[in-house]
Amino acid sequence: MPDFSLTPEQESLRDAARKFARAEMAPKAAECDKTARFPEEIYRKAWELGLMNLNVPTEYGGSGLGALEQCLIVEELAYACGGMTTSIIANCLALEPILLGGTAEQKSRWLTPFCAEYHLASFCLTEPGGGSDAAGLQTRARKDGDGYVLSGEKCFITNGPHASLFTVFATLDPSLRSKGIAAFIVPGDAPGIVRGKDEDKMGHRASSTSTIRFEGVRIPSTQRLGSEQDGFSIAMRTLDQTRTPIGALATGIAQAALDHSARYSLERKSFGKAIAEHQAIQIKLANMAQAVHAARLLTWHAAWSIDHGHPSTLESSIAKCFASDAALRVADEAIQIFGGYGYMRDYPVEKLMRDAKLTQIYEGSNEIQRIVTARELLRQYG
Amino acid sequence: MEIVVLIKPIPEAESRLRATPDGRGPEPEGIKFVLAGYDESAVEQALLLKESLPGSSVHAVSFGPARCEETLRAAIALGADRATWVEGPPEGSDDPVLAARALAATLQTVPHDLVLGGKQAGDDEEGIVPGAIAELLGIPSFGYVTDLRSSGPSGLTFLRPTEAGVEQWEAPLPCVVGLQQAWNDPRSAKLPNILKSRKAPILKVDWPTTSTALALEAKPRSIGEKFELPAPRTGAKMIEFKTPEEAAEKLVRLLREEAKVFP
Amino acid sequence: MTPTVLVLAETSGGLLTGPTKEAIGVARTLAGSDGSVAAVTMGGPSALEALASFGLKEVWMADVPPEAATSGAVAALAAHAADESRAALVLLGGTTFGRDVTGRLAVRWGAAAATGVTEVAITGPEEVHVRRPVYGGRATESRRLVGPRTVIALRPHAFAEAAASAGTPTVHALDRSVIPVTEGAARRRSLAPAEPGSGPSLSDATIVVSGGRGMRAAENFHLIEELAQSLGAAVGASRAVTDAGWRPTSFQVGQTGRAVSPQLYIAVGISGAIQHVVGMVSSRTIVAINTDPSAPIFKVADYGLVGDALTILPALTREVRKVRGLPAN
Ligand SMILES: Cc1cc2nc3c(=O)[nH]c(=O)nc-3n(C[C@H](O)[C@H](O)[C@H](O)COP(=O)(O)OP(=O)(O)OC[C@H]3O[C@@H](n4cnc5c(N)ncnc54)[C@H](O)[C@@H]3O)c2cc1C
Ligand SMILES: Cc1cc2nc3c(=O)[nH]c(=O)nc-3n(C[C@H](O)[C@H](O)[C@H](O)COP(=O)(O)OP(=O)(O)OC[C@H]3O[C@@H](n4cnc5c(N)ncnc54)[C@H](O)[C@@H]3O)c2cc1C
């Protein structure tokens, strides 16, 4: 039988994240959502407590946590605010390529000073011409003496306006598709980087997202991760690692929607009784609880597979896809349970629905997750 | 300065309180116990003093059942250098004087210039332990303290808000100080320190050992008989009156004598 | 059994403090007709006159200046007086000072102890029962204190003050040599008298007075503030008030405002919409003042007054100031 109990370490990490989320993030979630404010003071504090570079080994100044620990923390943070969580964990996404593809020297050169202070990093894969079809990216890396010159545009880059470090995927030869892609470490102050305006988003409004244009940015070859052909594989392996925490992020949003709904259903009266006493509402709550539980367990299972070094592409795709679909469905039902109030911005549940939506789109859309799932599945038969 | 900070695990703020089946006390089963409230401020104060006086150390000490260990680890994660768990009586007496005796017996064996505690525990709110320990150790004690500062190697200054106003004191070391909550903003533990705290050694003082020191008075003299939660509200008691003055007079009397919430 | 109950008396400006008068009242009840009430004071001769007017038979007196009145010094003297008076019970007022002394006195005198007590009864030869709120008022516990000696600090304002009754006490001087030498080095350097008017914040306050649309106009809201000031309370408001701009949104209590759970919540001219109620229903005691007897707020309140807030509030403020001994204004 699998053992679902958490170790005391895991419990205390989760408690610490919960405390931070409820004390620091939750009180500002509505305000930041309304005004699309990027709450730097919260991110700075998250960094101080070690909630930011979760996946970076302690020898480089990160928190050195496994996938399951990351999931426990991310779920707690997202319970308070999905948008802030996206910005807090963007460093994990952006630094993972260095962890996977970097040499020991590159890691200590780039990760150690980065983690020692409050810094944000961005992962630059998506382009205006296409996100899902990553192999078709158009940002060019041209060889130039002992280095490369980058030119092209990336879009929807989380923390783009604030990042001091980028990991960038660019092609040496677009005709080679995935075989022509290389990955680069690009410092935020490199000449030729042009940051776009902060996008006005439906949800995750406490996070910031922009385009990043590379106008002839010179990069020495010491800042290339792996070989000139390794970029695509580094990107895909990165997403294999970071998809699972997105499942946890979605689970946190769903849990918040369920908690709000259950409490409200006990307070709100109609036809002379609490709406929780109407069976139609009970069935909704039961379905929501099922979705939340399943999302959490799938996420934990995928994290467990990663932590045990098992192949986990299938598990992480299933977890991310299921949890994000569940989050949207649960948030939708939460609004329904709140009735007209649910539709009002003064109440917390409509934000949950807007925040949940993104989890179906980023870090590989759910269509792509289903393609991956089917491919992995059919491989077992064919 | 050798700073000892006394901490007690208390139920998380949002816990649902229940009585034990025999109705005599609060049910610990299913409750999450944490380092919180007054004690959290006390740990913060200990760390601030330590940081202001190089060479100081902070020693967290807790008396009670096994759950003390988690609370002590929380103190270590925040920056305490050492931790001691003084095991509570197996039958779980909650007489605060008894707790003070066990703690004082332990303190006699460890260095202490300053013993810090919350002004009262967040659960029983007795506020008896700090003064009782001081009396047992034969050193001065001060409750309801804020803005505690070191004034050199052998003294302290602090403020004490009382009904009459804010008092300013100077006190010698060693002494016991009970702190008022929330004048400081307690820090949070960093994740790497939380992980390290899991592996930190915790010195355990067994109950029989403390009880020998307690031979004089091992029997609890304050015994919980009944633990009650307020009855669910059934609608307001309506106050009848003819004049506004009568309304005011009746309401104030009820708040004083019945509800007992008048300031 | 004729118990002697000893009260640790505190004076301020030559008068007994309210909590001390409350303790004397409780002591009289506990001592009954065959017991006696004695007092111990650090206030020196100036306290004597105040104590004489409360019909105490015996007073143990020391003259300890407030600058040197540490809990250790006071506990030593009080324990000495307790022995001399053959007291079975020592009562302290629920002040900072009283509660601070309790633990030390319990050890010094070898007594069982409890603080924050709202009910007390002598139930046997060596047995006292007390009740006291715990967990921030979320629960109440009853405790049995056993043994020949007991020390109890009362909860402030939980008991009625004793009425004055003339008498001439026998005075015993206490020997200050019982004070441990270690107490000598602590000194109170100064006392800054409490500032009136600086009220607590909404979330920290133990009392909150909130006004709603029933206050009729922004110009009337000062009535809420005056009541709050007399109680040392924070001011809250319903959304109707903040929406109308009578007060800023930071005052709003409720689902989209702040959730509060004070000891006492007074809702004035607030109908009791669910969105307001969820933010205050966990308060310990709730008072509602509303012209409409069927207003839903009365379902969650403990005490209800049906009437016009604009006339009740000034009378209530006057009464509170009177009872708390604050100057009328
Ligand atoms: C707020 C936000 C933050 C983001 N942060 C980052 C970041 O930090 N770094 C980064 O690199 N990217 C980031 N992204 C980009 C995100 O990963 C992409 O938006 C996502 O991968 C989808 O790409 P696209 O928007 O170009 O959609 P497209 O690829 O154009 O897809 C459009 C639709 O077609 C579907 N589709 C595409 N191909 C197929 C197919 N083969 N079969 C079936 N359906 C298909 C998609 O699922 C989608 O429904 C972010 C996006 C958002 C909105
Ligand atoms: C999305 C949404 C969010 C909301 N969030 C909140 C919230 O966080 N907090 C909140 O408070 N509300 C909130 N509300 C509003 C809530 O539904 C009520 O409208 C509001 O609480 C009413 O305020 P009230 O009780 O002051 O006013 P009313 O409901 O108008 O009640 C006024 C009361 O005063 C009484 N009265 C009139 N004259 C007098 C008098 N002279 N003396 C005594 N009593 C008198 C009346 O009998 C009546 O009961 C929200 C509403 C929505 C739709």
CATH number (domain holding residue A133): 2.40.110.10
**Distance, CA of C10 to CA of C165 (rounded, Å):** 18
The reply to whether ligand 2 has any atom less than 6 angstroms from the CB of C291 is yes
User: Looking at the structure, do residues A106 and A145 belong to the same domain, yes or no?
Assistant: no
By the 8 A CB rule, do C55 and C158 touch?
no
Residue B134 token pair: 């001081």
By the 8 A CB rule, do A86 and A160 touch?
no
CA distances in angstroms from A268 to A57, A265, A273, B75, listed in the order given: 48, 5, 8, 41
User: Looking at the structure, do residues B124 and B195 belong to the same domain, yes or no?
Assistant: yes
DSSP A309-348: T---HHHHHHHHHHHHHHHHHHHHHHHHHHGGGGGSTTST
Looking at domain C207-323, its CATH class is alpha beta
By the 8 A CB rule, do B227 and C139 touch?
yes
Using CB atoms, list chains with 3+ pairs below 8 Å to chain A. B, C
CA distances in angstroms from C178 to A281, C65, C73, C172, listed in the order given: 71, 16, 8, 15
Ligand 2 centre distance from Cα of residue C290 (Å): 11
- Chain B: residue whose CA lies nearest to A63: B192
**Strand runs (DSSP E) across A175-248, as ranges?**
181-187, 193-195, 209-220, 224-225
Return the pLDDT at B183: 53
Say which amino acid occupies A159.
Answer: N
* Ramachandran region, residue B98 (left: φ > 0; alpha: ψ -120 to 50; beta: rest): alpha
Predicted confidence (pLDDT) at residue C16 exceeds the cutoff of 60 = yes
By the 8 A CB rule, do C145 and B222 touch?
yes
Residue B53 token pair: 């006086």
Which residues are bridge partners to A195 per DSSP?
A212
User: Looking at the structure, do residues B138 and B261 belong to the same domain, yes or no?
Assistant: no
- pLDDT tens, residue by residue, B173-212: 999 999 875 456 789 999 999 999 999 999 998 876 665 5
User: Looking at the structure, do residues A239 and A298 belong to the same domain, yes or no?
Assistant: yes
- Is A9 catalytic? The answer is no
**Distance, CA of A260 to CA of A143 (rounded, Å):** 55
DSSP chain B: -EEEEE---EE-TT----B-TTSSSB--TTPPEE--HHHHHHHHHHHHHHHHSTT-EEEEEEEESTTHHHHHHHHHHHT-SEEEEEEPPTT----HHHHHHHHHHHHTTS--SEEEEESS-TTT----HHHHHHHHHT--EEEEEEEEEE-STTEEEEEEEETTEEEEEEEESSEEEEEPTTSS------HHHHHHHHHS--EEE-HHHHHHHTGGG-S-SEEEEEEEPPPPP--PEEPP-SSHHHHHHHHHHHHHHTS----
**Distance, CA of A118 to CA of B29 (rounded, Å):** 41
Cis check: omega of the bond before A311, within 30 degrees of 0: no
Return the pLDDT at B82: 97
Confidence of residue C194 (pLDDT cuts 50, 70, 90): low
Which 8-state DSSP code applies to residue C321?
H
From first to last of its 382 residues, chain A has per-residue pLDDT tens of: 578 899 999 999 999 999 999 989 998 999 999 999 999 999 999 999 999 999 999 999 999 999 999 999 999 999 999 999 999 999 999 999 999 999 999 999 999 999 999 999 999 999 999 899 999 999 999 999 999 999 999 999 999 999 999 999 999 999 999 999 999 999 999 999 999 999 999 999 999 999 999 999 999 999 999 999 999 999 999 999 999 999 999 999 999 999 999 999 998 989 999 999 999 999 999 999 999 999 999 999 999 999 999 989 999 999 999 999 999 999 999 999 999 999 999 889 999 999 999 999 999 999 999 999 999 999 989 8
By the 8 A CB rule, do B211 and B218 touch?
yes
Count Cβ atoms below 10 Å from residue A380 Cβ, excluding itself.
7
- The answer to the question of residue A1 being in a domain is no
Which 8-state DSSP code applies to residue A37?
-
The reply to whether ligand 1 has any atom less than 6 angstroms from the CB of A130 is yes
Give every strand in the sheet of C89-92, ordered side by side: C112-117, C150-154, C89-92, C4-9, C36-41, C58-61, C170-173
User: Looking at the structure, do residues A126 and A111 belong to the same domain, yes or no?
Assistant: no
User: Looking at the structure, do residues A339 and A268 belong to the same domain, yes or no?
Assistant: yes
Q: Is B11 on the interface with C (CB under 8 A)?
A: yes
CB contact under 8 A, B198 and A8: yes
Chain B residues with at least one Cβ partner in A under 8 Å = 34, 70, 73-74, 77, 188-192, 194-195, 197-198
Which domain CATH number covers A320?
1.20.140.10
Q: How many domains does chain B have?
A: 2
Domain that holds residue A303: 233-379
User: Looking at the structure, do residues A104 and A128 belong to the same domain, yes or no?
Assistant: no
CB contact under 8 A, C278 and A267: yes
**Distance, CA of C22 to CA of C165 (rounded, Å):** 14
Which domain CATH number covers A13?
1.10.540.10
By the 8 A CB rule, do C71 and C179 touch?
no
By the 8 A CB rule, do C153 and C192 touch?
no
**Distance, CA of C157 to CA of A130 (rounded, Å):** 72
Residue C279: which of C258, C302, C251 has the closest Cα?
C258
Q: Considering A69, A93, A116, which residue would you say is the last residue of a domain? A: A116
Which domain CATH number covers B44?
3.40.50.620
- Select from C208, C209, C213, C298 the residue to mutate for testing ligand 2; criterion: most ligand atoms less than 8 Å from CB: C213
Residue A188 token pair: 């935020």
Burial class (CB in 10 A: 0-12, 13-18, 19+), A146: exposed
CA nearest ligand 1 atom 31, residue: A132
**Strand runs (DSSP E) across chain A, as ranges?**
121-124, 140-143, 147-158, 165-171, 181-187, 193-195, 209-220, 224-225, 269-270, 273-274
Q: Which helix (H) or strand (E) holds C150?
A: strand C150-154
DSSP β-ladder status, C89-92 and B2-6: unpaired
User: Looking at the structure, do residues B101 and B190 belong to the same domain, yes or no?
Assistant: yes
Q: Which fold has domain C4-185?
A: Rossmann fold (3.40.50)
CA nearest ligand 1 atom 32, residue: A132
Percent of chain C scoring above 70 in pLDDT: 95
Q: How many CB pairs under 8 A join B and C?
A: 285
Q: Considering A101, A116, A131, which residue would you say is the last residue of a domain? A: A116
By the 8 A CB rule, do A182 and A153 touch?
no
- The answer to the question of residue B72 being in a domain is yes
CA quadruple A236, A238, A240, A243: dihedral sign? negative
CB contact under 8 A, C189 and B169: yes
User: Looking at the structure, do residues B248 and B126 belong to the same domain, yes or no?
Assistant: no
- The answer to the question of residue B224 being in a domain is no
User: Looking at the structure, do residues A127 and A178 belong to the same domain, yes or no?
Assistant: yes
Q: Is B183 on the interface with C (CB under 8 A)?
A: no
Cα three-residue angle B9-B15-B21, rounded to 5 degrees: 90
User: Looking at the structure, do residues A269 and A365 belong to the same domain, yes or no?
Assistant: yes
**Distance, CA of A247 to CA of A326 (rounded, Å):** 10
Burial class (CB in 10 A: 0-12, 13-18, 19+), A322: buried
Domain regions of chain C by residue span:
4-185, 207-323
Please tell me whether residue A359 adopts helix, strand or coil conformation: helix
User: Looking at the structure, do residues B144 and B245 belong to the same domain, yes or no?
Assistant: no
Q: Name the closest ligand to CA A160.
A: 1
CB contact under 8 A, B131 and C102: yes
Q: Considering A197, A228, A259, which residue would you say is the last residue of a domain? A: A228
Q: Name the closest ligand to CA C257.
A: 2
CB contact under 8 A, B259 and C145: no
Q: Which residue has the tokens 């038979």?
A: C57
The reply to whether ligand 2 has any atom less than 6 angstroms from the CB of C300 is no
**Distance, CA of B210 to CA of B88 (rounded, Å):** 9
**Distance, CA of C178 to CA of C184 (rounded, Å):** 12
Q: Residue A347 — φ and ψ, nearest 5°? A: -100, 150
Return the pLDDT at B90: 64
Q: Name the closest ligand to CA A82.
A: 1
Residue A144 token pair: 């130039």
Which 8-state DSSP code applies to residue A178?
G
Please tell me whether residue C267 adopts helix, strand or coil conformation: strand
- pLDDT tens, residue by residue, C256-310: 777 787 889 999 999 998 888 878 887 889 999 999 998 999 999 999 999 999 9
By the 8 A CB rule, do A330 and A291 touch?
yes
Please tell me whether residue C43 adopts helix, strand or coil conformation: strand
Q: How many domains does chain A have?
A: 3
- The answer to the question of residue B223 being in a domain is no
Give every strand in the sheet of C285-290, ordered side by side: B237-238, C303-306, C285-290, C264-268, C207-211, C234-237
Ligand 2 centre distance from Cα of residue B247 (Å): 23
Q: Residue B100 — φ and ψ, nearest 5°? A: -60, -40
The reply to whether ligand 2 has any atom less than 6 angstroms from the CB of C255 is yes
User: Looking at the structure, do residues B146 and B245 belong to the same domain, yes or no?
Assistant: no
- Given A76, A153, A350, A363, which residue is catalytic? A363
**Distance, CA of A228 to CA of A142 (rounded, Å):** 11
CB contacts, 8 Å: B139 with chain C: 72, 182
HSE at residue C205, side-chain half, CA atoms within 13 A, is 27
CA nearest ligand 1 atom 25, residue: A131
**Distance, CA of C327 to CA of C61 (rounded, Å):** 31
Q: Please list, in sequence order, all residues whose beta carbon lies within 8 angstroms of the beta carbon of residue B99, skipping any fewer than 6 positions away.
A: B63, B64, B88, B129
Greater model confidence, C90 or B90: C90
In chain B, how long is the greatest CA-to-CA distance? 70
Please tell me whether residue C315 adopts helix, strand or coil conformation: helix
Domain that holds residue B248: 230-263
Report chain C's mean pLDDT, rounded to a whole number: 89
- Chain C: residue whose CA lies nearest to A31: C256
Return the pLDDT at A219: 97
Helix residue spans in C192-292 (DSSP H): 222-231, 239-243, 274-277
Q: Is B178 on the interface with C (CB under 8 A)?
A: yes
DSSP β-ladder status, C264-268 and C285-290: parallel
Task: Average the pLDDT over C167-193 and give the result.
Answer: 89
Q: Is C274 on the interface with A (CB under 8 A)?
A: yes
The reply to whether ligand 1 has any atom less than 6 angstroms from the CB of A156 is yes
- The answer to the question of residue B178 being in a domain is yes
**Distance, CA of A189 to CA of B178 (rounded, Å):** 52
pLDDT, block means (10 residues), chain B with 263 residues: 94 85 91 86 93 94 93 96 88 83 90 89 82 95 89 87 83 91 75 94 82 59 90 86 96 92 86
Residue B195 token pair: 């992980």
